[in-house]
A and B are shown apart, each in its own frame.
Chain A
Amino acid sequence: MGGAKRAERRRRQRALAADQTSRPAAKQSSRRAAKRGAGGGRRGVVVALVVLALLAAAVVGGVLWQRSRSGPGPAQATPVTAEYPVALTDGVVVAGKDSARVTVDIYEDFLCPACGAFEKRDGAAIDDALAAGTARVRYHIVNILDDLSNPPGYSTDAANAALCAADAGQFPSYHASLYGKQPREGGRGYTDDQLVQLGRDLGITAASFESCVRSGSHDDAVRDQEQAATSSQALQRSYPDGRRGFATPTIVVDGKLIEIGDSASWLTDAIAAAG
C-alpha cells in the first residue's frame, strides 16, 4: 500500500513539473519551481512516512503496553468459617440446612461489580442465617459477563473454579475471597495459576482441584445455569424504558424475585415472616 502511494505521488509530481516546464511564458521561474517541487515532493513523502510510522508505533505500543499491564495481582484468601452443610448439585451450590424455612436463590457473576457490592453488604448476614439454620441458599453462578473481562472468559473461569472449590469443600471461603478482592470489569481477571493458588491458600490440598480448575470441568454446568437463567421469564426485571432482561445479582426468596433495597433487611424480614 505504501509503495503504491509513493509511486502515485511521484507520478503526480513529475506530471506537475512537466506541466510547469511546458508553459513558455514562465519558463525560467517554472524551472526553478519544478526543482523546488521535486525536492518538496520528496520531503512530503518523508513527512508522510514519519506520520505513518508514528501511528503504527502508537498501535504497536498500545497493544504491548496493554499486554504488560499487570492484572489484579494474586487473589486474596478470605477464609470463612462455614458451620453449615454445602453441597454441589447440577451446577448449583446448595448451602445451609434442609430444615431451614426460607429458601433463597442467588444468581451472581464473579466479575459483576454490583454482585461484589451485594456480597460486601449482605454476605455476613447471609452467613449468619446459614449458620443459624434460618435460611438455605442456592448459589447459581452464571457467566453473563464473560466478554467483559480483557482477555475474555474470566466469569466462566471463576465460576468453574468456585465449583471446583465446592467439590473440595471450600466453597464459602473461595466465594468470599473472589468477591473480597474482585477484578475490575474491563480488566484482566485472575489467571488459572492465581485461581489454583487461591485454593491452596485456603487449604485445598486435593490434587484433583488443580486439574478441575485448569481443564474447566464445570464449564458446561456453568453455561447451562446461564442458559436457564437468561431464558427464564420469572427471573427477568423491567427497566425504566420498558425493556426486560436478566441481570446480576438476582435474588429470589421462596420463589419470588425481590429487590434487595438498601440493606440486608430483605433477608431478616423474610426470616421473620417465615416464623
Chain B
Amino acid sequence: MVRDLIGTLARIGLAAVWLISGGLKVADPEQTYVAIQAYDVLPTGIAGAVAAALPFVEIALGILLLAGLGTRLVAAASLVLLAAFIAGVAQAWARGLSIDCGCFGGGGAVASAETRYPQEIARDLGFVLLAGWLVIRPRTLFALDGRLGPARAPVLGAEGGT
C-alpha cells in the first residue's frame, strides 16, 4: 500500500513535470526553437521538427501519466527523453557552451556565469528516479491501468489483480 502511494506520487509528480515543461514550450515556440539551436548539436532541419513536436510529446506524456494509462511504457519513454536532455546539457557543458537549458521556458545564450549545468543535470536525474520507479513498479492508485481489467500483463500497467 505504501509502495502504491509512493508510485502514485511519482506518477503525478512526473506528470506535472511534463505538463509544465510542455506547456511552457507551447506558449513560446520561438523561444523553444532558439533554445534547441543553442545546444548546437542537432542539424537545423531536425531542430525545427524537434522544436515543433517536443512540446506536444511532453504534454502527451503528462496526460497519459495523469490518467495512469500504460504507466510503465510511458515511464520508459520518459526515461528515453530524459536521457536525451541530460546528454544535451552534458555535451553543452563539456564543450563550454554558455546556454540556459531552456527546459522550463527560456533558453538560448546566456553569460557563462549564469549557466547552471550541474543543477540542471541533478534535477533531470531526480526526474529519472521518478520515471525509474514507475518502470520497475508501475502499480499506482487512481490510475486507468488499474481499472482496465483484473489481470494485467506484467510488461505494461500495474502488475497482477489483487
Contact = CB atoms under 8 A, between A and B. Distances in A.
Interface of A: 9, 12-13, 33, 36-37, 39-41, 43-45, 47-48, 50-52, 54-55, 57-59, 61-63, 65-67, 69, 147-148, 150-152, 184-187, 239-241, 243
B60 interface: yes
Given A55-B77, A243-B112, A39 B149 contact: yes
Secondary structure at the B interface, as helix, strand, loop or mixed, is helix
A50 B51 contact: no
Contacts of B49: 63
Contacts of B33: 148, 150, 186-187
Contacts of B32: 186
18 contacts: A9-B155, A39-B151, A47-B156, A51-B69, A52-B73, A54-B60, A54-B63, A54-B64, A55-B60, A66-B48, A147-B37, A150-B30, A151-B48, A185-B30, A186-B33, A239-B111, A239-B112, A240-B111
Interface string B60-75: 1101100001100110
Contacts of A37: 151, 153
Given A48-B73, A63-B49, A40 B60 contact: no
Contacts, number: 118
Interface string B77-115: 100000000000000000000100000000000011100
B157 to A, nearest CB: 6
Contacts of A41: 153
Nearest to B57: A58
B20 interface: no
B10 to A, nearest CB: 18
A12 to B, nearest CB: 7
A5 to B, nearest CB: 9
B59 interface: yes
A92 B160 CA distance: 74
Contacts of A52: 73
Contacts of B30: 150, 184-187
A187 B155 CA distance: 42
A115 to B, nearest CB: 15
Contacts of B70: 47-48, 50-51
Contacts of A151: 48
- The 7 closest A-B CB pairs, nearest first, are A186-B30, A66-B52, A40-B151, A44-B153, A62-B53, A36-B151, A62-B56
B55 interface: yes
Interface in B129-162: 145, 148-153, 155-157, 161
Contacts of A62: 52-57
